Each structure stands twice: as structure tokens, then as C-alpha cells.
Structure 1
Amino acid sequence: MWTQCWLDYSACKAKVTAYKKYFQKIVIVDFEEDEIKAAVNELQIAADKWFNIELPVEFEGEEGIILERVDDTDLGREGYVLSSDASALKVEASDRRGLIYGVFRLLSKLRLHALEQGRAYTEVPENPIRMLDHWDNMDGSIERGYSGNSFFFEDNKVIINERTVDYARFLASIGINAVAINNVNVKDAACDLINDKYSDEVKRLSELFYDYGVDMYVCINYAAPLESDVKSADPLNEEVRQWWKDKTADIYSRIPKLGGFLVKADSEGRPGPMTYGRTQADGANMLAEAIKPHGGKIIWRCFVYNCQQDWRDLTVDRAKAGYDYFSKLDGEFAANVILQIKNGPMDFQVREPVSPLFGALTKTNQMLEVQIAQEYTGHQIDVCYLIPWFKQILEFKTYLAGAEHSTVADIISGKAISSIRGGMTAVTNTGNDENWTGNDLAAANLYGFGRLAWDMSLSAEEIVEEWIELTLPELEKEDSDKIEDILMKSWRVYEEYTVPLGIGWMVSPHEHYGPSVDGYEYDRWGTYHRADWQGLGVERGPEGTGFSEQYQSPNREMYSKVETTPEELLLFFHKMPYKYRLSTGKTIIQHIYDTHFEGYAEVQRMRDCWKTLEGKVPLRMFKNVAERFERQVYIAREWCDVINSYFYRKCGIADEKGRKIY
């Protein structure tokens, strides 16, 4: 069996006794019961777990739990109003989606004791699209998965069961409204997800998600026409365009609830429009034209770069690729195309600058792509709460031309560019492990992403406090504070014992866990640190690759100079001598030594803090996290010793504190 994460209603009975008087009946006003059955079902689950009550459904009355449709355009399709008085709890919405999200939020607020009688709570999501991307393969494996195997696929079969329903419940409870079910690297049996072979299962899955307010997307192979009797995938070839129109019409005749397609093209060996000398807009627009009559969307990934780079060539810079390919196409993409832009110009590193594409596009739908699957942040072995990092990304000022407000949050929500099709997506961290996320504490990233995508004004602290209270409702405040402290410091600590000052990488190739300083240094991937006996870092200012010039002013000037570049990104933007002194007064090499020793020591303190929670948290959870902390302590020491030894051997400069370096 699997856990219920933050939806374990049986764990908080003592906290909700005061609300029993409301759980006598559900009153539905101006909704059809069938269209909000997910909301009704959730209320009935809570009533059963909390009070052992079977909750009947009625269609008139002013007492109990009232679910009412209202004519309020300000709420849109997904907003809602929560309120209560002496005799009723009320959820009001103008659409079924808002009603579903509202019921889940009501149940959370009851458990958090955050519903004040007589007060109305209006919530409308900031981002139009709030999405999770699965990199699940049809054989059951998950690319960059660290929580077991897929719960969607096994042995080239589609799985739909009670676990699938629970997953849809989780998504609705945090306001997620879109999910892509398969790997963007589409191969083998996954190519048939858009064909007759899997029609029944894919239709059922899309309808299940639809019931919970979630649009389901399928990742497609851009070169699919080549597998038919059409021997081209040129987006300007009329035969290819017609093939996609016919195929899309066929798909929607079988799977009418499909949200659309997610596409990775011209990237890491994937075919795309550039194969035929066409632009990214040509390729995306061909698909957009085909899917438009059916109300579908095309989400087009901007992760396009040359993965055959010559490490000897100091002028070629992978970081520049996304901007170079897409910025000149602003305004050329169809209205139902959304560009999915990774948070940084490289690849989900523990720290990197915000992609300069945010700030370059004023007439194009954009969504932010982050990764809660911990590919480069510890594989869900190491604790690494990522919401503080995501907050920094969202708050970054791009200085988009002509925009009064130009943070990443302003752009993706549409405030800065008048877009109604933008948002946030995360490569998800789930799998079929008992606890869904491998490490129990990694569920804070899943919960946190959903809450942040809904309301970007929430702080990382507010989100983690909610997650702890909903997941461990019986925990004393002293112990809740310990978990919050572990999570809130975990990203900074992970950065300390891994890669310094924004340089990135230095990980074991392919696996991406554990240190291998030169693992990618002489390879084709464009992921270099350029360390020698004098210093390290990549010169990306005007005198180097010129990457800094892709930013809008004043960011352009800030990143171009050593003196104004934020120190946490110093080595990303500049080649620096080991003896350069930071604002702390430390040299770069001493900073490297100190942060690695301190990070390793802090992991040990976090491990010891978790040990004090034995008997305070469920035994299964305690053992799960404790075992992973032992592995994290081991790998943190490896990082510390390998990084410090590597750079000591490079530069020959001793640690001022005389600690053991090998």
C-alpha cells in the first residue's frame, strides 16, 4: 500500500472535532452532482475518516457544507470563495474546476485551523498553467526518477487503479491543473500513445484527471510522420502538415479530454524542424495549427543546444543557445503555443542565473520549467528543499522592455506581457515507492511546487509550515520547528558541500550523483569549469563568450563585471584567480575549503537533529529519512574531500585552518 502524504485525514481527528456540526450533509446549488463528483467524494472521505459519518447529498438547504455556483467573472474558471457561519461551510465558484480546488483547500484550512468564522477567503490562481511533467517510460522506468518505478506504466501497459486516483487527488489538493504523463524523450512503445493501441486506456486516464480539474498532456515524437508512409517531418511540407491535422483529429475523436502535446525537438539527439533548415516557430506552429480546432495547446521546450561541443573551443557557450535560437522568434509563435523555458541557461543546477530568455520575449507565451526530481540536487537521498531557490527565480527582475513589472513571476503569469497562456511546470519527483517521493521529506517539494504555482506570494517558510502540519498534525511545535529548520537550510547546505559560486556540474557523469570534478570537463556537453593552476570559472562577460550581453540592462552590466556580479554566481560568469578576495575577506580557494568543511559538518548536525525525532514521527517515516541521512553524510564527506583535494592539488595553496586535505 502507499501513504496518503498530506491527505491523510485519519491522522488529524483531534484537530477537527469542532467542525463536526457541519458534516451532516452536502448541499449542491446550481452544479450537476456528476461534474463535481471529485469534490463530493473528497468531502465524504474526510467525513468518514474524521467522524465515521456517511455524508448525504442534497440540493437545497442552508446548513451543512454548501457547494454553490456563483456568477462572478473575477473568479475565472479556477477561483473560489470559502466562508463559514454558525451553521454552514460554503464553497462558491463559477466553474467546476474552482469548486474542486476550493473543496480541497477548505479541507486543508480546517486541518490548519485557518478558517475564521464570518470571514470570506477568495483565492484565484496567479498562473494559468500549473503543471507536472513525468519522465516516465512505457517499460515502467523513469528517466531521472528516484522514487521507484512509474505508477502510470509497466511492461508497456497503461496502469489505472486506486493509486492513480489518489495521485489525481494530490494534484487537485495543491492546485495543479495539468500533467504530462510520459517522457519527453519519446521512444519505443510510447510512440503508440497517440495511436489506436492505447486509446481506451489513455482516454480513461485523461477523464480521470479531468474529473479532478487536471488537463492531461502527452509527449509526442516530433518525427512521428517518418514512422508512417510520409518520409519527411519538414514542418513546411504540406503532406507533413496534413498528416498532423489528420492524426490530431483522430486523437481527439478518441481522447476528447486531452489537453495537448508537450514537445522536445532539436535537443540531445531528438529530431526537430532544424533538421530541415526550419525554425522552432515553424515546427511549433505546424502542430498548433493541427491542434487548434480541438482546443488543444502545444507546449514547446526551449532546451535546445549543440550537444556535440568541442571542449577546446572557448568561444562556444552552451548557456547562450536558448536565447540564440528563440529570442529572434518573438511574436512568431501561434497563440496556442507556450514556450517552456528552464529556470537557467544550463540544466537544473543547484544554482545558475535565470535564463535571459525571460526578459527577451514580449509577444510570446512563456512558462517556467523547474525540476523537483533531484537530478542534480541529491537524488532524493540528500535532503534539499527547493522552494527557497524557486522563490529567488520568480522574484528575479528581468527588466523586460516596456514592462512596469518584469519579474519572472510577472512574465509567466501574464501580467507583464498580457498573456493568458503561461505558468509553471516542474519535472516531478514521484514514483511507485510507498511514500511516492523516495525520501519522505522530498514530498515538501511536491506540495511546495503546487502551492507556489498557485500563489507566488507565499513564502518558502509558509509553505513548509503548512506541509509539516498537514503531514504530521500531531507533532509538537518544538519538533515541527526542527523539521522546518532542516528543510529551510537544506538547499544552502547542499550547495556548500557540492559546487562553489555557481560553477555547477562536477558530478558523476550520466548518473549525476556524487563528485567527479573532471567528469564532464573534456566531454561534448558544454559543461566546463575550466580550472587550472591559477584559477577557475568560465569567462562569460563581453571579453569572453559574451553570454552576459543576452540580459537586459542593468542586468547586462551587472553580470559583465567581476565587481558587480553576485558572488554566488561569480564563477559562472568569470574566470577568477584562486587568490581573489570575496566580500567576506576570504580568497576564493579558502571559501571553497571552508564551505565544503562547513557543509559536511552541517549535514551531520541535520542527521543528529533528525535522530531526536525518533518516537515523535511515524516509525516508517523516521527510518526512511534516517537511512537517507546516513547516505547523505557519506556523500557529503566524499564531496568535501574530493573537491578540496582536487583544488588543493591544482593550486598548491594550503587551507589557512590546517584541516586534513588529501
Structure 2
Amino acid sequence: MRGLLLLLATLGHAAAEDGLNAWLRYAPLPNDVRDQAHIPSTIVTLNSTETSPIYVAGQELQKGIEGILGQTLDVTHETSESPSIIVGTIDAFTAAGGELAVPELEEDGFWLSTKDGAVEIIGQNERGALYGAFEYLSMLAQGNFTEVAYATNPSAPIRWINQWDNMDGTIERGYAGLSIFFKDNLIVSNMTRISEYARLLASIRVNGIVINNVNANPVILSDENMVRLGKIADTMRPWGVKVGISLNFASPQTFGGLSTFDPFDERVIAWWTDITDKLYEHVPDMAGYLVKANSEGQPGPLTYNRTLSDGANMFAKAVKPHGGIVMFRAFVYDSVNLNENNWKDDRANAAVDFFRDLDDKFDDNVVVQIKYGPIDFQVREPASPLFAHLRQTASAIELQVAQEYLGQQCHLVYLPPLWKTILDFDLRVDGEPSVIGTDVLTGKRFNKRLSGYAAVVNVGLNATWLGSHLAMSNLYAYGRVAWDPTSDPEAMLRDWTRLTFGDDPDVLDTIASMSMESWPAYENYTGNLGVQTLTDITGPHYGPNPQSMDNNPWGQWTRADANGIGMDRTVWNGTGYAGQYPPEVAAAFESPDTTPDELLLWFHHVPWTHALRGSGQSVIQHFYDAHYAGAETAAAFPRRWEALRGRVDDRRFEETLFRLEYQAGHAIVWRDAICDFYANVSGVPDERRRVGAHPFRIEAEHMQTTGYRVTGTTPWEVSSGQRIVQTVGNSTAAVAETRVPEGEAFPRGQYDLAVAYYDLYEGKASYEIFLNGESLGKWVGDLEDRLGYTLTRGMDGHSATRVTFRGVEVGPGDVIRIETLPQGRETAPLDYIALLPPGVVD
């Protein structure tokens, strides 16, 4: 009944929303649902200091309840005999005369009780109480008025965000606008968006943030920026979020004027100590430092033949008197000397090779931050074996919300199912249960005091924070997972959807089903069987470019040739990577017969005809079938979302529909590029004769054109038929025209008419399509403004895209004409048009 009432309310939904409030909308519940709520009329906060998280919790409760239930509650700081919503710490509650028998609370933990007409929100500390207030509001916002009484504690003390914001205001892997933290090499003076962000982070129980890129600019250490850093800390502190910064290891030399940055040099040590002391003067509770050293060209201690632990400990000693910690990234590898022709070379070995002999060498306030897999945010990787080697050193897992390699927030990819494959993995250290999420990262397995989570997040000035409304589910879920790694991905998703879009059952089910299908679909149409995401490794990491994975020193190789594909990472014959795992796990990965199919090509080089354990299919036929299946899943997303028209506010509905339509088209770009490329490499045809066969397409190079010339693309496989047309100049109008063939190929009827073209940066070509002289529609090549992916100036897998006109009446002899006007670098390039009968994906 509650779902029906909420559905009736949402059918006359409110004005369009921009996404700024994310899951903290506090949208009003229907009146009949509100009537089921019986809550106290007073909020008691056991701290009257306005910068206190307890005080903030009271204000948030007042705001939330007024929005959700339409009730304005008084906020006071004095307890009384009357039932109230009381918020405070255990110590404050006890000092106020309260009696509380609750399970033991750990740091940041809280107790929530809604029994006996009163509400108790009691934290182990003030941050925990604020988390409890958000928990209670989340229940109310979802129409959940059940009586509860429970305590909850975080799985790990470190639950941080890593921003990759640059001092000039850009963001590395930023797909949602410019930085909310920086502009023109200075920290911004307006703290409004920063405060709003801190509120979002508090609501998902994130307790720390590093605000600048790990490829750090030392100018963040200027006196002016230190002052402004203090303002950020003041802004985020009431929300329980501590601030940290990334450091450039060479700063004493490049910024401080010293002749060296050797971590053993007394001048360098003194310089960092002085800088650290100054920072803590401005930010007394600064969380600490994040350091990327000796990786991807970044400076580090290895420059002076010092160890990585030597470098980390220099910073650790500087922050130790202030209670700070150092997050030291394990993302260290040699991108210069790796040689693909050496069968034993393997970038995946790097983290363990660099760190395993240093386990007892790090100071106790150093946390080694380990990417979830041994390469770099790939669509499928095995869990990093380094977690099994650091028994004495604190460690944290690095996850990703930013979707680098994973569709850059232009593709719907719900990430918690991917994270779950890592967090649920049992490393079997010493033959004992060693599950990464529940044993290792909790600190229980190796009795560690520090452990936790860090997520790379790329929020920007875009109103949607991440550029995409649906992508925000990943940020929400990250906080939930860091608190409890056993959290169910779909349950979290449904909570997020109710909070973000309301309780309409159709909206809930559609978003849940699409999102849960999205990661498997993306894996299918990009790279599967553990071969990694077959993107442009030497470029933007976005569109398809499988050959870029090989023949370079970056080490993300597939070793594909006419005979087979995959990295041999066995001990007996390959790079030895499998042997980095404890014996039980290593033995399973050593043989194709015991390696899961989804990781086969990660661990083994096999012939194209190798039969998979699960299906019996050959590797190459699985490639073909998976890529077609993934594209078909993505193709259905727009239609499924379209069914929600009128159930989601217009602005968010249209913005989401646009992205899903784009994804459906780009998934076909991926499908065709990967299938064409590996059909060419392997020489093995598709058993179902789909690859390279496109009977519903009319290639642009076969159309009658004026002002166009025929060219190719780089790489060749990102164009249908290996040819496209582009205008002769960059300012003269051009035309491409074709007549629908006579015969049985295209009987008169309803078709989806798709136009494949290329949308380049630094140009906005215009297009108009006509059917028998009547305009079907216009569009402009402006995806650089509407999507936010990494920009490209070439006709390649990043710029390849499609526009689709649905339900067009077409028949033999009809004339389709496209009139174009190039602009800037964009020469109105066209690849093909497709006339798609119902149910056909091509």
C-alpha cells in the first residue's frame, strides 16, 4: 500500500531537479504515508556549539523532518521528561542523566533506537552521532517507521576520499566540470559547494578527504594556500570530515629551493618538518598526507637509492606528533623498462615485488594504499596479492568511483558488484580464512590498528556532482561498503533509488535491474575473460583501441597474435605472478583447468580455440557472443528508461535518457571494434556470421556526396567498413544522400534510423537529416559539452557516436539525405546510417 500511495504522489511529481541534493532531497512523503509517522516534537542536541557535528545533526534533523513529514520540530539543548529525539555522545548522554545499556561502540559507531515513543541517537563520538542522525533520516525518507534498536560500528577506521583535482581547477579523470576546490593555482574562497559536499560525505560516513591530485603540484604548500586549506577544514569539520593533502616528493627541491629531495638529507627532513608544523597550525586536525612516489614519472626515494619505506617514514615522523597518518600508494611500477618481448616481464608483479620485503620497515602511522587489482581499475582483475604480504603494515584498499577505464560516467556502470568480487575474495593466508573485506581490511586477520578504504572520486561543479545522475549510486554505495563490506549491492542500490527518485515501484525495479546488469554488460562489450578493458591505453582510457594494449612499455598487454591470447602468469612457464598468492590460491590459478573462466586470460595464454570450462565455447567465439550480448543489453536501456516518462521529473529523466541513448550507440562502437579486430588477428570467423556483416547499414562512403571525401580512422576498426567520409574543408556545407534499396531488404514499415558519426573536441558541426525532403531532425556535435568524457581531437573510438530517430516510416525508394556544416576541427564526419527493424541491434 505504501508503494502505491507513493506512486500516486509521484505521478504528479514536483518541478525538475538538478541533482544537487543527490540522495539528501528530503522529498515530502504522501499525506497518507506521513500519517503513519509518530515522532517526538522536540529535538535535543547535547552540544550547543554551532561548529559541532552534534549541533549540525540537530539542524539536519529539523530540516529533514520538515521536508519529509511537513513537521517543524523545535531544537533545544536541554533534556526533559517528555519524549524527544535526542542526539549526542555516550559521555554527553550520561552526563545529562541518561541511562543507556548498549553494545560496545567503537570509534564513529552509534546507537539508534526508535522505541517507546522516543528516538535515541547516541554516538561513540560526535561524528558517530551525526551518522546516526543521517541513518534515522534515511529511514524516514524511505517511509520506514518501524521500531528499531541497534548499534553499528564501522568495519575500518579509515574511510577516505581521494580527489584528483589539480591546482589550476581541472580534474584528472574529471568528467563533471571543474574543481570545487581549486582555481588558478589557489584554493577557492567560496566554500558553498565544499560544505554541500561535506554534507554528502557525512551522510555516507566518509571521515576523511584528500583534496588534490596524487600527481601533486607543490604550490598547494604556499602560505596563501595553507590559510585557505584551513578554511576548507573549518568548513568540513562540522560534518566530521577531516582534510588531508597529496604531496609531491620533490617539493623541497622544486618548491623549497633545496638542491635535493633525498629523504635521508637532514635539510630535507627539516624542510618537511617545518612545512608539516605550519600546516597543522592552520589545520590542527589534519588527517595527514597521501603520497604517490616513483610511479608513472613521479619523483620518490628510489631516485636516491632509498627504499619506499624510507620515503614514507620521513613523512610519518613529521605528522606523528600531530596525530596524522601517511597513506602511501602501492601503485609503483616501471613504465620505462618493461619489455613485452620478455615473456617474464609483468607489470602485475610490481606491487608485491616493491613492497613485500618492506613489511616490517614502515612506521606505525603509515598505511599502504593498495589498488583493488594489480593493474589499474580494470573491468575485471584478480584481487591484489599484496594484501596477503603486508602482515605487519597497515593497509587500505583503493577503489574507484571516477570510472576511469569504465565508461567515464557516460556509460551506466554500477560498480559495487565489481567491488564485491574483490572484497569477498579469500586469500587463504597460511591456509586460514583471509577474506579481504571481512578479515583483512577490518584489521582482524593480522591484528592491525589501522586499515580501511580510499576511493578515487571526481566530483566537479556540475550540478549532478559526477556528471551523471545514475553514477551517484556508486558514491553512495562506496560509503556503505566502507562501513560494512558485506553490504548487498542491490539492497544499497534500492535504498539509494528511493532516496534519489522516490518509491515508485517501476522506477525502483527499472533502475535496479539496469544497474545490476550494467557492469556485466560493460565487461561483455569491452573486454572479458580477464583480458582487461580493451581501451586506448596510450590515450584517454575511454573508447576501444585493442592494439594499443600491446607493443608499448605500459604493461597492460594481451599478447594477442594469430595463435592465441592472454598473459601467461603461471610459475612454471610464465611471469610468476600466480605465485605471489598464498599456496592454495596460487595452485588454483596455476592451471587453466582450475582458473575461473572470467580470469582465464589474466593468468593464461591460450589458443583462440581453447574451450572454456563453463560453456565449452572457444575463447574467440565467447568474445564474439559476449560482445554482441553486452551491446544488446545496453541497447535496451533507453527503451526501459523511456517507460518511466512521467514517473521521474523531466530534467533528470531527459538528462538520463540522453546518456543511456549515447551508451547504447557507443556499446555498438565497442562491439564492432573488438570483434572486427580479433577476427582479423585470429583469422577465426564468427560461427553465427555476424562479425563484419551489417545488412541494415548503408555506408557513408557508398552514398552520393557533395563536399565530402573518403578517409579512414585511427584505429581502423572503429569505423564500419574501415572507411568514413569527412568534409573537404572545415567551413563549407556538405551533403550525403542515399536511396533505400529496392527489393526485400527494407520492406516498408517502422524503423529506427541511426546515424553514426564522430563528435570531436574544438568543433561543433551541425547536421540535419531529411526523409523524402522532410526534416526528421537536427543535431550538433556538442558532446564535449553534454557528456564530459576525456576529450579527443581525432576520429577514433572516443569520438565515435550515434544519433537515433525512432519509429520512422521508411520503404524502398525513399531518399535519405543528411546536410552538414563543419565547424572548427569538426569536419562533420559520417560513418553510416542504419535502418533497424524492431528488435534488431546493429
Q: How does the TM-score come out when normalised to structure 1?
A: 0.96
Most deviating of 578-587 and 10-19: 10-19
Aligned partner of 1:560 in structure 2 is 590
Distance 1:441 1:609 in 2: 14
Conservation of the 8 A alpha-carbon contact between 1:223 and 1:272: yes
Choose from 181, 190, 193 the match for 1:163.
193
SS in 1 for 2:120: strand
Matched, 1:300 2:328: yes
Conservation of the 8 A alpha-carbon contact between 2:438 and 2:486: no
Distance 1:253 1:293 in 2: 13
Letter in 1 for 2:23: W
Letter in 1 for 2:62: Q
Aligned partner of 2:237 in structure 1 is 210
Aligned partner of 2:220 in structure 1 is 193
Letter in 1 for 2:624: Y
Per-residue displacement from partner, 1:571-603 (whole Å, max 9, x unpaired)? 111111011111201111110010011111111
Distance 1:627 1:386 in 2: 21
Alignment: residue pair count = 657
Aligned partner of 1:57 in structure 2 is 76
Aligned partner of 1:367 in structure 2 is 396
How much does 1:310 deviate? 2.8
Unaligned runs of 5+ in 1: none
Matched, 1:101 2:115: no
1:130-169 alignment runs, 5 A limit: 130-159=159-188, 160-169=190-199
Aligned partner of 1:650 in structure 2 is 681
Aligned partner of 1:41 in structure 2 is 59
Per-residue displacement from partner, 1:56-112 (whole Å, max 9, x unpaired)? 323121422111332578212311111123532221123111111111111112223
Distance 1:87 1:58 in 2: 19
Letter in 2 for 1:65: I
> Residues 553 and 140 (structure 1 numbering): CA distance in 2 closer, same or farther, change over 3 Å?
same
Choose from 635, 639, 646 the match for 1:604.
635
> Residues 614 and 418 (structure 1 numbering): CA distance in 2 closer, same or farther, change over 3 Å?
same
Aligned partner of 2:23 in structure 1 is 6
Choose from 8, 12, 17 the match for 2:34.
17
> Residues 16 and 285 (structure 1 numbering): CA distance in 2 closer, same or farther, change over 3 Å?
farther
Conservation of the 8 A alpha-carbon contact between 2:171 and 2:458: no
Aligned partner of 2:88 in structure 1 is 68
Letter in 2 for 1:450: G
1:311-390 alignment runs, 5 A limit: 311-390=340-419
How much does 1:528 deviate? 1.1
Aligned partner of 1:252 in structure 2 is 280
Letter in 2 for 1:525: W
How much does 1:52 deviate? 5.7
How much does 1:18 deviate? 4.1
Matched, 1:614 2:674: no
SS in 1 for 2:252: helix
Conservation of the 8 A alpha-carbon contact between 1:11 and 1:472: no
How much does 1:316 deviate? 1.2
Choose from 300, 309, 315 the match for 1:287.
315
Distance 1:15 1:564 in 2: 57
> Residues 539 and 404 (structure 1 numbering): CA distance in 2 closer, same or farther, change over 3 Å?
closer
Letter in 1 for 2:313: N
Distance 2:549 2:623 in 1: 20
Distance 1:516 1:10 in 2: 44
Distance 2:410 2:348 in 1: 28
Aligned partner of 1:263 in structure 2 is 291
Conservation of the 8 A alpha-carbon contact between 2:398 and 2:453: yes
Most deviating of 496-505 and 82-91: 82-91
SS in 2 for 1:251: helix
1:193-592 alignment runs, 5 A limit: 193-226=220-253, 227-308=255-336, 309-401=338-430, 404-473=433-502, 475-508=503-536, 509-542=538-571, 543-583=573-613, 584-592=615-623
> Residues 48 and 326 (structure 1 numbering): CA distance in 2 closer, same or farther, change over 3 Å?
same
How much does 1:408 deviate? 4.2
> Residues 14 and 514 (structure 1 numbering): CA distance in 2 closer, same or farther, change over 3 Å?
farther
Letter in 1 for 2:291: V
Q: Answer 1 or 2: which has greater helix percent.
A: 1
How much does 1:314 deviate? 2.5
Distance 2:576 2:88 in 1: 57
Letter in 2 for 1:625: T
Unaligned runs of 5+ in 2: 1-17, 92-101, 694-842
Conservation of the 8 A alpha-carbon contact between 1:73 and 1:94: no
SS in 2 for 1:9: coil
Conservation of the 8 A alpha-carbon contact between 2:43 and 2:73: no
How much does 1:10 deviate? 2.9
SS in 2 for 1:4: coil
Per-residue displacement from partner, 1:473-530 (whole Å, max 9, x unpaired)? 2x42133111100000100000000112111142123211111011231122111111
Distance 1:263 1:132 in 2: 14
Conservation of the 8 A alpha-carbon contact between 2:57 and 2:87: no
SS in 1 for 2:111: strand
SS in 1 for 2:74: coil
Choose from 660, 667, 672 the match for 1:636.
667
Letter in 1 for 2:72: I
SS in 1 for 2:209: strand
Percentage of pairs with the same residue: 37
Which structure has the larger Rg?
Answer: 2
Distance 1:30 1:77 in 2: 19
SS in 1 for 2:369: strand
Most deviating of 192-201 and 579-588: 192-201
Q: What is the CA RMSD across the aligned residues, in angstroms?
A: 1.9
Matched, 1:174 2:204: yes
Letter in 1 for 2:78: F
SS in 1 for 2:547: coil
Conservation of the 8 A alpha-carbon contact between 1:77 and 1:96: no
Per-residue displacement from partner, 1:348-397 (whole Å, max 9, x unpaired)? 00001111101111101000001111111101111000001111110101
SS in 1 for 2:368: strand
Q: Answer 1 or 2: which has greater strand percent.
A: 2
Distance 1:608 1:7 in 2: 28
Letter in 2 for 1:649: N
Letter in 2 for 1:372: V
1:111-126 alignment runs, 5 A limit: 111-117=141-147, 119-126=148-155
SS in 2 for 1:449: helix
Per-residue displacement from partner, 1:12-62 (whole Å, max 9, x unpaired)? 465862476535322134775652222122112214424262633231214
Distance 1:659 1:558 in 2: 35
Conservation of the 8 A alpha-carbon contact between 1:399 and 1:407: no
Distance 1:350 1:220 in 2: 29
> Residues 595 and 99 (structure 1 numbering): CA distance in 2 closer, same or farther, change over 3 Å?
same
> Residues 64 and 558 (structure 1 numbering): CA distance in 2 closer, same or farther, change over 3 Å?
same
Per-residue displacement from partner, 1:166-201 (whole Å, max 9, x unpaired)? 1111101111111110100012xxx23233121222
SS in 2 for 1:388: helix
Conservation of the 8 A alpha-carbon contact between 1:353 and 1:569: yes
Per-residue displacement from partner, 1:635-656 (whole Å, max 9, x unpaired)? 1111111111111112222211
